[in-house]
Structure 1
Amino acid sequence: MAKALMFMGTGSDVGKSLIVAGLCRALANRGLKVAPFKPQNMSNNAAVTADGGEIGRAQALQARASRREPITAMNPVLLKPELETGSQVVVRGQRVASMTARTYWNERGKLLPEVIDAFHELAADVDFVIVEGAGSASEVNLRRNDIANFGFAQAADIPVVLVGDIHRGGVIASVVGTFAVVAPADAKRIRASLINKFQGDPSLFADGIAFLAQKTGVPCFGPVPWFTDAGKLPAEDVLALADYTSDKSGALTIAVPQLPRIANFDDLDPLRAEPGVNLVLVAPGQAIPRNADLIILPGSKATRSDMAALRANGWDIDIIAHHRAGDKIIGICGGYQMLGRSIADPDGIEGTPGTTEGLGLLDVETVLSPVKQLRVERAIHLGSGTAIAGYHMHMGVTQGPDIARPFAHVAGMNEGAVSADGRVQGTYLHGLFAADDFRRAVLGNVASPDFAYEASIDTTLDALAAHLEHHIDIDALLGLAEPVRLD
């Protein structure tokens, strides 16, 4: 019978995702069958699953840590922000609607049976399910109809570990305060706390550990020191973009405009990790560096809106000047659409129906459609003959003369487009730079011949598992897990 344990946070970005990933790999390394689970996630950084849907990027990484294929049951509800007040709602991997925050808040309770079914589906096939909560456990104003934190924990009848981030300061107050403000029945479900992201001498927090145990009545695990290699793993939250620019005097500079609705930015992770590449994420209000050797237009959750933001920042002028100077541009998914002549949204999928003028660097036009294409793909890049393992995740059809010069072949079919001069390329393929040979073909002599991106992810996950094994009594922590009731 599977056992389950849930990790909630005193706030967002306390390191829950990393803790869950590390525990999944630690258990897998012990020969146990383990699966990650997050009832509800909010992220525009998503991954395509083996069963043809999409889930949050963090759950895909946790699945990899578990040495399992990602499936939609691991993240049954995914919210993908489209506007300031609304999101696309994805249930079991498929888009079902776009809702305002208030509408979703009122309706989300109806999704709880779907969430419980997905949880039970995972539990039927593993020894452990490691569950991750969302945001802060103490958001009592959002408790009604909750399916992400205590609402799920109570419905599934599973114990909780509360994770606090000492790096922010005030961790003792945040842990004790969570116990104080949540409902007594919810507080009773918390079986331990865990202190994360510690820097310095851990012995200096010994009194803090004792105080927390005395004040909350449950054991406190940790502190877990800061995991210095965390930045080598794919990030899910846009908060990670604050420190995303690499500060290297590399021989090649790649500039990426930080669009307001940037999506699937983990496409850039392999480039950021390359020793000889200086990846510059261009913040709003800043100019795209004139010394950039390559500009990449990334994916977007709201292409027309981000196209307007691109113009408002003057990035369109920078991109056109970059092209006139003879330099190269690659557009991925929404970025590919922006490189064309126009993006039409006759059905109002992304907002008000209408058409937005693109950059006109590719002779193609895009019409958005309500059918989302979600596929894991294997492709051949025609410019270099190298293999790409990626995925499609987009809503729209792109046509025009430049598709006669495809970016790649997928199952013998043309994919993407290349300009007549060969310096502008567009593709719907996400994950393409993780392919070492393709990345080396794009970067030329700058690419390290010894750097293997995919292998580096597994090496880092093993290091994360060893880090947790060293600093936490994992046997005692997992001893808090309880059997899953499948009735």
Structure 2
Amino acid sequence: MVRAIMIQGTGSNVGKSVLVAGLARAYSRRGLRVAPFKPQNMSNNAAVTENGGEIGRAQALQAWAANRPTHTDMNPILLKPETDTGAQIIVQGQRAGTMKAGDYRKDKSKLLSAALESFDRLCGDADLVLVEGAGSPAETNLRKGDIANMGFACAAGVPVVLVGDIHRGGVIAQIVGTQAVLDAGDLTMIKGFAVNRFKGDVSLFDEGRDDIAARTGWPCLGVVPWFQDAWKLPAEDMMDIRSHTGGACKVVVPQLERMANFDDLDPLSAEPGVTVEVIPAGRPLPGDANLVLLPGSKSTIGDLTYFRAQGWDVDLYAHVRRGGHVLGLCGGYQMLGKTISDPEGVDGRPGTVEGLGLLNVETVMVGQKKVTLRTARALPGHEPVTGYEIHMGRTDGPDCARAWLEVAGRAEGATDTTGRIRGSYLHGIFASDAFRARYLLELGVTSDLSYEDGVDKTLNALADHLEQNMDLDRLLSLAETPRRA
């Protein structure tokens, strides 16, 4: 019979997603059918599932760790921020509209039924469902109508393990303080705690571990040392995006305000011959870049305005004059064109804005959102490429006659007359080893890296790490058959 356990954190970014991925691999290696689940997620770095919808990138990685296909039921509610106060809402993989934060807080309880429906389906095809919370259950102002943490745990009857992050300091207060503010009903759901991201000699925290256990009455399931290779796993949160020093070839990425689907950077960061430098607001694009990569965006026109406000357009034109390469993916592709028209206001206010003018193409923001996995071939070498499309809009123009990808028998992308400036709607292309090797060769880099093998090796190392530092037998014994309230 299926069992479930929920990993909640004392705050955002305490390492819940990575822990669940490691647990998924560890338990699947023990022969269990494992399914990851996150009732509500907030991320613009979405993955396209094999059943044709969107989920958070972390749940896609967890599915990979669990050796099972991705499915929209793994993350039934996905919020994709478009502004500081509003987000697009994805329900069971499909766009359900846009909502202001205040309105969502009022109506989110209505989405609980969708989350429970997806959870029930996952439970029908698993021995163990690993549920990940979001943010912190200690945010008592959000408890009413909650579907991300204790609200879901109570409704589904799933026991909870609370994880604190010692790296950010105050982990004793994190865990004990969380207990102090939760109501009695929520407290009955918590069966234990763990401490994550310890650096140094773990035994030095024995007294702290025992103090937490004495104050809370909860057993400790482990003090997990810092996992050094976590950077090799695909990042989900924009907070996790960071520069990575490798070789002499420098790929520069402007950190857009609404940057989306930035998993394109992960295989490049893994290359020993490549340095990926993410440039935050207020800093110029470096003059020694070999490639400037304009990433995807959840709000293309808004991010184009943001790009210009940083002076990055001036830096980009200088880069092109020096003979540098430019690649725009999805929203970045749209920005590289001559104009972006939005007659229906799907990306903001209706109207037309000038693009960066580096590709002779024009974009119109119309039509239904395209969300699909793709297999393609690169041109002219015909290297196999896998990727995905997740965008609104249509792009056409003379430079599309120099397409550099072929998708389902049609030309995809655009190239300028020099061959150094390219754009495409296809995300995830650099995970294809043969294509990435050929592309990097144009930048003077020789590659023999097998990217996906590297991720799989890291997941196994993470599972080993948790086997050594957590009581996985006890954790599994705490999992229970869900008791739907």
Is 1:251 aligned to residue 262 of structure 2? no
- Counterpart CA distance in 2 for 1:102 and 1:346 is 28
2:273 corresponds, among 256, 273, 276, to: 276
> By how many angstroms is 1:409 displaced?
0.5
1:434 corresponds, among 428, 431, 437, to: 431
**TM-score when normalising by structure 2:** 0.98
- Counterpart CA distance in 2 for 1:306 and 1:384 is 33
User: Are 1:259 and 1:300, in contact at CA under 8 Å, matched by a contact in 2?
Assistant: yes
> By how many angstroms is 1:420 displaced?
2.1
Correspondence for 1:57? 57
> By how many angstroms is 1:253 displaced?
1.1
- Counterpart CA distance in 1 for 2:351 and 2:447 is 47
User: Are 1:120 and 1:486, in contact at CA under 8 Å, matched by a contact in 2?
Assistant: no
> By how many angstroms is 1:369 displaced?
2.4
Correspondence for 2:377? 380
User: Are 2:253 and 2:292, in contact at CA under 8 Å, matched by a contact in 1?
Assistant: yes
Correspondence for 2:171? 171
Give the alignment of 1:366-445 within 5 angstroms.
366-369=363-366, 371-444=368-441
> By how many angstroms is 1:217 displaced?
1.3
User: Are 1:277 and 1:446, in contact at CA under 8 Å, matched by a contact in 2?
Assistant: no
> By how many angstroms is 1:449 displaced?
3.9
- Three-state SS of the structure 1 residue aligned to 2:377 is strand
Give the alignment of 1:226-241 within 5 angstroms.
226-241=226-241
- Counterpart CA distance in 2 for 1:366 and 1:110 is 36
- Counterpart CA distance in 1 for 2:413 and 2:478 is 50
Amino acid at match of 1:365: E
Correspondence for 1:471? 469
- Counterpart CA distance in 2 for 1:260 and 1:30 is 42
- Counterpart CA distance in 2 for 1:347 and 1:103 is 23
> By how many angstroms is 1:213 displaced?
1.5
Please report the RMSD computed on the Cα atoms of aligned residues, expressed in angstroms: 1.2
Correspondence for 1:82? 82
Give the alignment of 1:308-387 within 5 angstroms.
308-369=305-366, 371-387=368-384
CA deviations on 1:266-293 (whole Å, 9 max, x unpaired) are 1111111111111111111111111111
User: Are 2:361 and 2:400, in contact at CA under 8 Å, matched by a contact in 1?
Assistant: yes
User: Are 2:166 and 2:196, in contact at CA under 8 Å, matched by a contact in 1?
Assistant: yes
Amino acid at match of 2:123: A
Amino acid at match of 2:10: T
User: Are 1:408 and 1:415, in contact at CA under 8 Å, matched by a contact in 2?
Assistant: yes
- Three-state SS of the structure 2 residue aligned to 1:429 is coil
CA deviations on 1:397-446 (whole Å, 9 max, x unpaired) are 11112112212101111111111221111101110111111111111185
- Which moved further from structure 2: 53-62 or 336-345? 336-345
User: Are 2:82 and 2:299, in contact at CA under 8 Å, matched by a contact in 1?
Assistant: yes
> By how many angstroms is 1:324 displaced?
2.1
- Three-state SS of the structure 2 residue aligned to 1:482 is coil
Correspondence for 1:121? 121
- Counterpart CA distance in 1 for 2:365 and 2:178 is 44
User: Are 2:361 and 2:396, in contact at CA under 8 Å, matched by a contact in 1?
Assistant: yes
Is 1:262 aligned to residue 262 of structure 2? no
Correspondence for 1:462? 460
- Counterpart CA distance in 2 for 1:298 and 1:425 is 12
2:480 corresponds, among 474, 478, 482, to: 482
Instruction: Pick closer, same or farther for the CA change 1:449–1:310 going to 2, 3 Å.
Output: closer
**TM-score when normalising by structure 1:** 0.97
CA deviations on 1:132-167 (whole Å, 9 max, x unpaired) are 000111010011111101110111011000000011
User: Are 1:366 and 1:397, in contact at CA under 8 Å, matched by a contact in 2?
Assistant: yes
User: Are 1:274 and 1:448, in contact at CA under 8 Å, matched by a contact in 2?
Assistant: no
**Identity across aligned pairs (percent)?**
55
Correspondence for 1:306? 303
User: Are 2:279 and 2:285, in contact at CA under 8 Å, matched by a contact in 1?
Assistant: yes
Correspondence for 2:19? 19
- Three-state SS of the structure 1 residue aligned to 2:374 is strand
User: Are 1:276 and 1:446, in contact at CA under 8 Å, matched by a contact in 2?
Assistant: no
Q: What stretches of structure 1 of length at least 5 have no aligned partner?
A: none
Instruction: Pick closer, same or farther for the CA change 1:149–1:105 going to 2, 3 Å.
Output: same
User: Are 1:251 and 1:446, in contact at CA under 8 Å, matched by a contact in 2?
Assistant: no
User: Are 1:349 and 1:370, in contact at CA under 8 Å, matched by a contact in 2?
Assistant: no
Correspondence for 1:451? 449
> By how many angstroms is 1:370 displaced?
5.2
- Counterpart CA distance in 1 for 2:265 and 2:245 is 15
